[in-house]
Amino acid sequence: MKWLRTLVLFNEGGVLSSNGWAAVHQSYQDAIEKIYHPPFSGALTLRAKRRRNNGKDFDRNGVAYLRSHFLRNMLELEGWTSEGDVDLDKERQQPAILLYPSCEHYREPITSGFGGFDFVTTTLDGLKVAIEWETGNISSSHRSMNKLAIALKTGIIQVGVLIVPSRDLYSHLTDRIGNIAELSGYLEMWESLRPKDGKGLLAITVVEHDALSDDPDLPYLPTGSDGRANQARKTRAKN
């Protein structure tokens, strides 16, 4: 798989020039570039999307393979150790807002959690890092970015990274997968959420396949077993 670029939305407290950030970025870049298909081929070659006989739908690649191989590479090949979930603290104080029409100040209680991150670790120089590999649907990508921004603003982590497909890669994956093109219009909002005190770096890394192929002997990446994947399989069966 190919690393295309890393967008740094904000960099507070000199994180970008730290040894910890350099080591983190090099490590997860190496893990990305070791995602191969076919296995052991040294590159990620995808079967190009193909229009089905009904003339409307396409056969495309599933995404579970990419995520599972990234996490495996981080743990087994890059030698990182997951440290579990980041606690986003449901008891933290919400900002005071106004109620209408009374105009009273009010703090809405936090009644739901955000869930953990895909990968959490601490660098040798003490930076707490959370990484989200995002090949879920586009709404999942927005949730991941919001989680990272809140964790950074509250100082729970100092580095937050979202990894997403390029627009070109997206077109050959399961429909409605998050990608940089669909997130690009929201970068200004996330950039504005920089922490006011302390350290914090928020980044988006964009990834892409190395090559495309129309070879009928090259299998599509398998789909997962979630609802949309099951729906896609049923649609293919009908066609």
User: 12: which strand partners?
Assistant: 200
Alpha-carbon radius of gyration of the chain: 20
d(CA 233, CA 239): 10
The answer to whether 25 and 223 have CB atoms below 8 angstroms apart is no
Catalytic residue among 76, 108, 134, 182: 134
Residue with tokens 């981080």: 74
Q: Is residue 236 within a helix (H) or strand (E), and if so which, with residue range?
A: helix 227-238
Pairing relationship of beta strands 159-165 and 200-208 according to DSSP bridges: parallel
Instruction: Tell me which residue of 147, 112, 152, 149 sits closest to 15, measured CA to CA.
Output: 152
> Both tokens of residue 121?
């670790």
CA 83 to chain centre: 18
For residue 147, what are its two tokens? 């989680």
182 catalytic, yes or no?
Answer: no
Nearest to 160 by CA among 194, 123, 132, 189: 132
Is the omega angle on the peptide bond into residue 222 within 30 degrees of 0, that is, cis? no
Which residues on neighbouring strands pair with residue 97, listed in sequence order? 106
Residue type, 97: I
The catalytic site residues sit at 134
